[in-house]
Chains A and B, each alone.
Chain A
Amino acid sequence: MDVRFSPPLFMQRYQFVIEFVKKFAPRKVMDVGCADCSLLSKLKFHRHCVELLAGVDIDCAAIRQRMHALAPLTCDYLQPASRPLTIELYQGSVTEREPCTRGFDLVTCIELIEHLEPWEVERFSDVVFGYMAPRAVIVSTPNAEFNTLLPGLTGFRHKDHKFEWSRAEFNTWALGICWRYGYTVDFTGVGEAQDSSVGFCSQIGVFQRHPELNVPVNNTPVEATVYRLLYKVVYPSLQDNNIFHRTLVSEVIYRAECLRRAWEEEEEEEEGVAGQTVYRCGRSVHVPLLRVWACPRVQALCADLHHLQEVLLGDSRVQLDANGGAVVLPGDEQEGEEEEEEDCGREEFAMRPAKCNIEEDWDAEIG
């Protein structure tokens, strides 16, 4: 093929979806015919509001190939995101109804329908638009009219394609869908030719459901019954209470330690507003919560001081003083105890005379 697109066409299709996700802000997105999950792995970076990313493909080997690449990165654990994200991958057919696929905001079918037999397209339409009934659907498929620009191409672009539609054919099918299932459609595409009369290389239909048809979405998770769950991963996020607590406590302790160190260096000279200075109480050091909270990192996690106090009171990793107004840090342990540990507890042993060893001579042994 001499017609090369830059960026490559598949990237342009993905970019189109990404832009749409940015504008449309869906919470739950499903990629139907996800193959090796390359669109999903892009979307996990450009997730905006997405909280659930699902992928379905009939070919479980294709999914398995790279599915572990969808796992959270190291840094997702180091700095948990504020929004949750779950990724689920299923093996299943888009011509079958699966309860857990209902209630999505966006379903993408990128270069999928041309792989279906014409009679399957009917079933597909019914399942996706009638049964799954997401708020929006993106369907992309080759534009047969563009094929004339692809040199050396005889027949379809891929040998598994069962058909390739002209723009008119695609429009007819799409408008039929809109009429039957209550959607509106916008036609567009990616991969423009110089000769614009043939249209885009990939034609795209963006379907949106009539708003009045939207029913409140049931958010209780449904277990897959027809599809087979191949992979599921929940990203660490601050919505997870444990992670939130852990992160917050870490920040609080760190901040308190910083304040304490600064205070120790200044040799307790500082005379500040009452209740705002670090002070020593017995062996331990008290750091006012207000000053801890003043740290932007802490505030970002917990905008409300009372909330902070509540969280910390319920957490054993941080100790607050009696009225909950200060973080109590334990005093310095005695130093140097450990250094000479090796010398302690070693009993005297009597000097043992050297055993009368038989004189060894390795030279003789070597010969």
Chain B
Amino acid sequence: MTTLRILTLYSKKQVNEKSKFQGNAAQAVVEENYLQVFRREQRLKMDPSKPPFPRLPGPTRLPWLQPSGGRGVLADRPPLGRARGLAVAADRLTAGGDGVSVTSAVQRGRGAPGPAVEPAVGFGRGAPLSVGGRGLAAARGVLGSPPEPVVGKGRGMMVVAQPAECAVPPQPSPAVEVPEKVPILQAKKESDAPLKTLKDVSGEGSSLVSMFRGMGVDPMESWARGRGLMGRGPGGGSTVDTPPRVGPVGPPSVGTGRALSLDLIHSGQSLLGRGVSGVGRASISPVGFSRGPAVPAPAPTPTSAPPHGATPVSKDAPVTPEHPPTTTELKMEAALEPLKKAGTKGCPVAVGSNYISILCRNEAVFQYHVTFTPNVESLSMRFGMMREHRSTTGEVVAFDGSILYLPKRLDEVVHLKAERKTDNQEIAIKIQMTKVLPPYSDLCIPFYNVVLRRVMKILGLKLVGRNHYDPQSAIVLGKHRLQVWPGYSTCIKRTDGGLYLAVDVSHKVLRNDSVLDVMNVIYQQSRESFQDECTKGLIGGIVITRYNNRTYRVDDIEWSKSPKDTFTMANGSETTFIEYYRKNYGITIKELDQPMLVHRPKERSQPGGKVITGEILLIPELSFMTGIPEKMRKDFKAMKDLTMHINVSAEQHTQSIKQLLRNMSTSQEALTELDRWGLQLSSNILVTQGRTLPMETICLQSASFVSPVSVDWSREVVRDSAISCIPLCCWAIFYPRRAAEQAEELVATFGKVAGPMGLRLDRPIRVEMRDDRTETYVKSIHSQLASEPNVQLVVCILTGNREDLYSAIKKLCCVQNPCPSQAINVRTLSQPQKLRSIAQKILLQINCKLGGELWTVNVPLKHLMVIGVDVHHDTSKKSRSVMGFVASLNSLLTKWYSRVTFQMPNEEIINGFRVCLLAALQKYYEVNHTFPEKIVIYRDGVSDGQLKTVEHYEIPQILKCFETFPDYEPKLTFIVVQKRISTTLYSCVADRFGTPPPGTVLDHTVTNRDWVDFYLMAHSIRQGCAIPTHYISIYNTANLTPDHLQRLTFKMCHLYWNWPGTIRVPAPCKYAHKLAFLSGQYLHSEPALQLADKLYFL
């Protein structure tokens, strides 16, 4: 819900005519707009810092191709900028791969990202050579000064790779390729140089292929993605479609090999971005690869999922005789081998997940390129013209203005005529077939998702934000004036197991109050600080407007404006807000003096290329609040009322999903809609085989024990000595007079429980304060720390839940006078019968804060450093985000070094990261007198769309960091941690769904085809549904096997000392999160470095 569908007031006016472009997807979609709608969403998902994607550039827009084959443009930028540019392009490209950014493939500018990406890929992937640093240097060379021949080879290989893989004898296949290309290239008046190159390159390529293959069965289990690549590369077989676009590349100044490669690359990309990158990498350094083990061992066949190999093949079979030229492509896609990501350790267990397999009944989807001569600029006009030719294209169409997808085969080239209404000009429309896609192709997924949204709407579900909800089943919580709408978030994806509908059960909290109502309540409660309170309570909130179904984030409140003010509409005329809403929506605004809410949309460009900026002003009276009110969040009882409805058990979860499937299968209209593209949903929830990882052994100082099935060792840790305890000789406890009794009891209890835990605890300095004002606390602590510099720990008893006080104490003790501190709410001490266990917990926490070590698990890797990174975004002050960084310093993984950096918006996280990493390495050296040989980074908070950026931008920067130290080339494994995901796992016993046990891992079928990834449920579920954490190995020169990755991750989930059990993310991530939260929420600045080697932030 953070990204909103938005439009400015200007465009609001146009929405009636133009809602196709801007309206909410649900309302606006007409068939032609499948891609359009999709594109818009895509844009919204993208990072704003990225340059807008070139849209429909037309022949004039391929600027970077003009000077000298694509790299010229990048080359004259400063290195940093270049790297970024590359990464960005790369990101897009990937997206093509995982079905997200078909945008890139679909648009005519497609060629562009291709070449831009290529070097980046060569770099990113080339680097991880297991041979060592030389490879790295070489790879870097590639980036710096593009060594044409190498790259050319890489690409050339792809040409060959296509036929080679399609099970046709390699020799003849280039021939198949060439004839297809020849006429078009010539027709486009390309010099025939490229053609020659093609032949040359292919000759050369075949040898490379064999080499590549040889590696494929590397006995060293080196990680090559060779097979997968070759399987995918063949997308290039369809180069047919590219020449029209690559046209301008032709000038002879362009290196010949390059010109052609561009074209190949780009076509390869259009099927699956991966092919390209992979090949490039392979050619640069055929020695070590960062992911995907060489041996294409198939993942354990999922029990109910369509086996990836089998389905496509059988699908091809009928196609082959009918369309010989296209079979190659279909086969190519079919030959795709999944990455080697399956582990074997642990016990097999039946696991269900919220995926529904989709059967594609269409034989193929046909892609066409549509040209209008003379050119028609207006997209809507293009749509209109195509609509008139429904008799030719049929009713089922996905058209984005230039690329057309149909489920039916037209002639190779179809010529049509239309008349431009504005000037009666006759327009020739040429529809040329460019590709025959398998129906499960990534290119099809965007419009399948549009179909899915229509189906949801047909079922009567309402789109709110991005998900669909059922207002008929709303749960009304009158007491809190809110409603909970049950619903679904749905999405069609292609995973390792094939095409799936991923369904998650979602609940939307909507409030019966308009923002004006809320403001009125605030006004009654606090007249003096009314504006401040409003700012606090409303900014960052999501509102839904009364006159459409759109949601907006409130970014600001404009107190000086009112609905009586005027604004300029798109046609230039001025109107007041009152008049605007009266006229367009028949709404009479009652309160004329209300302030206005401001929404600042992320800058984005419209399909027409027009960039939308500026603010949107919303009327509080016409906006409804959504989400849980802040006040309610703190109200334990109210939240219980609410979570009762929201936290559904696995049983209820699966019931809801089954209900949706039933509704779909009983609605004729919905079935028809799906059938238009030949989609058929399975009626069952995916059940497959997962594993439970072996239980870990928890080691205390002398005692050790196998983690119980409940993954809870809270009793053990208070009974035996921790690994190390810091004697507490000098500490001070601060409490207001009225909490004197509780403070006394706490100190007494501390004394009783400390012994068994191995803690030495002296009597504290008691500081009783006359009141509990914030200044009193701050003054007392400050003077105490000044007079007694040896104080090891500050303990404060707080009265009530006071954020300002907490913040003040933490600021003082973490920034100004660095000293570990422990704040305790007096309420937690109020129950005598629980005081003992509470005191034990507090003591454990205190020991951590002082630098003690509680427990560990054995990680059989030497000279290892594990790093956790998380980012905290302050919702109210969206200007800054905070990165927490935590790195292990010893082999037991019990000493941690932590740092914090603040980022301004648009500032790359990596800048701060580098500083932290260098400091951590130095510290490691201080402690161990050597550098770590293997570094495993767990990076939280990276969305799917940013994976490529991380791979191509962050990782090279990290590698560069190591150069700071002479002859230092550690192995690096970079794992992205995603916890807010929509995948749910169920245990599955006798047809009943429940929660799977801790340690359940699923590493196939629902996993991402582009990465080595897995889902791990490390924690135990008390309530609700089991949401595993998704781990994606982005980079792995440490060559950790899937088993290692999974088990290391599970081990790391045991090491969070604030919880004697497993947690859902690796401990360093959780520490980093805690640290970032403390710094961003309370400290607002970097904590003192003196504390960096202690877990003071727990």
Contacts and interface: CB of A to CB of B under 8 A. Distances in A.
B875 interface: no
Given A8-B17, A249-B478, A254-B479, A359 B703 contact: no
A253 interface: yes
A38 B624 contact: no
Interface in B562-610: 571, 573, 584-587
Interface string A350-367: 011111010111110111
Contact of B479 (A152, A257, A346): A257
Interface stretch (A64-72, A185-193, A270-278): A64-72
A11 B705 CA distance: 77
B462 A74 contact: yes
A340 B547 contact: no
Contacts of B699: 354
B547 A73 contact: yes
A61 interface: yes
Given A78-B512, A365-B1044, A342 B704 contact: no
Contact of B16 (A38, A65, A252, A365): A38
B16 A351 contact: no
A366 B30 contact: no
B548 to A, nearest CB: 7
A266 interface: no
A338 B640 contact: yes
Interface in B446-464: 454, 457-458, 460, 462, 464
Nearest to A36: B30
A82 interface: no
Counting contact residues on chain A (CB < 8 A from B), the size range is 35 or more
A77 B474 contact: yes
A180 interface: no
Contacts of A339: 636
B546 interface: yes
A214 interface: no
Given A38-B16, A66-B30, A367 B423 contact: no
Interface in B1-32: 16-17, 26-28, 30
B697 A354 contact: yes
A42 B15 CA distance: 12
A333 B858 CA distance: 46
A250 B512 contact: yes
A336 interface: yes
A236 B464 CA distance: 17
A47 interface: yes
B584 A45 contact: yes
Contacts of B483: 77-78
A343 interface: yes
B476 interface: yes
B705 A351 contact: yes
From A79, A351, A367, residue with most partner B Cβ within 10 Å? A351
Interface string B291-304: 00000000000000
B107 interface: no
Nearest to A336: B831
A320 to B, nearest CB: 15
Q: How large is the interface on B (under 10, 10 to 19, 20 to 34, 35 or more residues)?
A: 35 or more
Nearest to B23: A69
Interface stretch (B62-70, B435-443, B1011-1019, B1033-1041): B1033-1041
A367 B220 contact: yes
A246 B476 contact: yes
A362 B30 CA distance: 56
Nearest to A360: B860
A241 interface: no
A349 B711 CA distance: 12
Contacts of A351: 703, 705, 716
Contacts of B16: 11, 38, 42
A251 interface: yes
B834 interface: yes
Interface in A250-283: 250-254, 257
B478 A352 contact: no
Contacts of B27: 66, 68-69
A74 B708 contact: no
Contact of A354 (B476, B636, B704, B1038): B704
Nearest to B625: A78
Given A47-B586, A74-B549, A367-B221, A359 B637 contact: no
Nearest to B544: A74
Given A65-B30, A77-B474, A249-B478, A366 B546 contact: no
B837 A355 contact: no
A352 B706 CA distance: 6
A254 B636 CA distance: 18
A6 interface: yes
Interface string B459-483: 0101010000001001010111101
Contacts of B704: 353-354
Contacts of B17: 8
A67 B1041 CA distance: 53
A366 B547 contact: no
B544 A75 contact: yes
A366 B458 contact: no
Contacts of B829: none
A327 B15 CA distance: 48
B737 interface: no
A61 B26 contact: no
Contacts of B460: 71
Contacts of A363: 860-862
Given A348-B715, A361-B860, 14 more contacts: A45-B586, A74-B471, A75-B546, A77-B462, A77-B483, A250-B476, A254-B480, A336-B831, A346-B710, A349-B708, A352-B705, A353-B704, A353-B705, A362-B860
Interface of B: 16-17, 26-28, 30, 220-221, 395, 422-424, 454, 457-458, 460, 462, 464, 471, 474, 476, 478-481, 483, 510-512, 544-549, 571, 573, 584-587, 624, 636-637, 640, 697, 699, 703-706, 708, 710, 712, 715-716, 831, 834, 837, 858-862, 1022, 1038-1041, 1044, 1048
19 contacts: A47-B586, A65-B30, A73-B547, A73-B549, A77-B462, A236-B471, A250-B476, A250-B478, A253-B479, A338-B640, A342-B1022, A343-B837, A352-B705, A352-B706, A354-B699, A362-B861, A363-B861, A366-B1038, A366-B1044
List 4 tightest A-B contacts by C-beta distance, closest first. A250-B478, A46-B586, A253-B478, A360-B860
Interface of A: 1, 6-8, 11, 18, 38, 42, 45-48, 61, 65-66, 68-69, 71-75, 77-79, 152, 236, 246, 249-254, 257, 317, 333, 335-336, 338-340, 342-343, 346, 348-349, 351-355, 357, 359-363, 365-367
